[in-house]
Amino acid sequence: MIDLVSSMKNYFFWFVLGFVFCSFGVYGQGGSAFGIKAGPLVGFQSWNNSESELLFRYHGVAYIESYSPNGGASLFAQAGYHVRGGALRLRGGAFQAINSASIINIPTQSYPYEFRNVSLSLGAKQRFSSNDQGTFYYLLGVRGEYTVSTNLEDYHPENDPLVEFNLIHPFPGSNVRRWNYGITAGGGYEFMFSELVGGLVELSISPDLSQQYFQNAFTYTSNINGQSQRTIGERRIRNISVELSVGFRFLRIVEYIDDVF
């Protein structure tokens, strides 16, 4: 398994290196465009083929891409920060307190699960329907991500005394997959403020192909309504995010002038 991970990292390194060299070649022919974009993010998760509720968060991205005065296709690379995840809505009810005859009434509440990821995406963009006001485009790319932090500690029994009444939360620790990958697809509209400065509006979807979280089934002793054995099933969780981006675009144009002798 370790050899497989090492091999995948090597392939990814050479892929990125090849992309950079190709990009330099393309940039040298017409120039480049770069900028930033940010906006709201709507995330949800696939839990063993069932869907979680929506999580509303945010994202920010810096990008660079090849540029040609004639438009058409271009290559891009972008790095960003995304708060991915989902939410679960738990139905409340009356439960007997642990080691007590009293009854606890727990309200219905929503639990957000945040995975704060940094990403690197590489791909291609195709422009069409260009006019004097702007250009429509669509894009497709591959994406690698690293999870910097989560909020799963909030649902650990030490921090949430009521968590055992609905013990369906994921847990912090080694069950979180720090390295993940997926694809990004979307489309948008570019427009110019001046000769070298423009803006964009973009809508994209980013499904993960890897599992952000994996946990084997386990059985534990519960204190709810007396000691009993409870089994928590296997969890396979993948992130899916829809992002709306608004940003700026700056052009760096390369012009070749032939010397006349």
As a whole number, mean pLDDT of residues 13-17 equals 51
* Residue pLDDT, tens place only, 104-136: 676 677 789 999 999 999 999 999 877 778 899
**CB–CB of 228/204 below 8 Å?**
no
Q: Which of 28-32, 33-37, 150-154, 252-256 is modeled with the greatest confidence?
A: 33-37
pLDDT at 152: 86
Percent of the chain with pLDDT over 90: 47
What pTM did the predictor assign? 0.77
pLDDT of residue 163: 55
- The correct CATH number of 2-253 out of 1.10.10.10, 2.40.50.140, 3.30.9.10, 2.40.160.20 is 2.40.160.20
C-alpha–C-alpha distance, residues 61 and 65, integer Å:
13
User: How does the average pLDDT of the chain come out, rounded?
Assistant: 80
Q: Which residue has the higher pLDDT, 256 or 142?
A: 142
SS3 52: coil
Q: What is the CA radius of gyration of the chain?
A: 24
- Report which DSSP code applies to 152: G
Closest CA to 70 of 123, 126, 140: 126
User: Residue 169: which of 152, 184, 144, 185 has the closest Cα?
Assistant: 152
Q: Is residue 202 pLDDT above 50, yes or no? A: yes
- Structure tokens belonging to residue 97: 């307190």
DSSP state of 72: S
Asked if 139 and 204 touch (Cβ cutoff 8 Å), the reply is: yes
The neighbouring-strand residues paired with 62 are 36, 79
| Sign of the C-alpha dihedral computed for residues 191, 197, 201 and 203 taken in this order | positive
Tokens of 257: 């002038």
What are 68-96's pLDDT values in tens digits?
777 788 999 999 999 999 988 776 666 65
Range 33-49 average pLDDT: 93
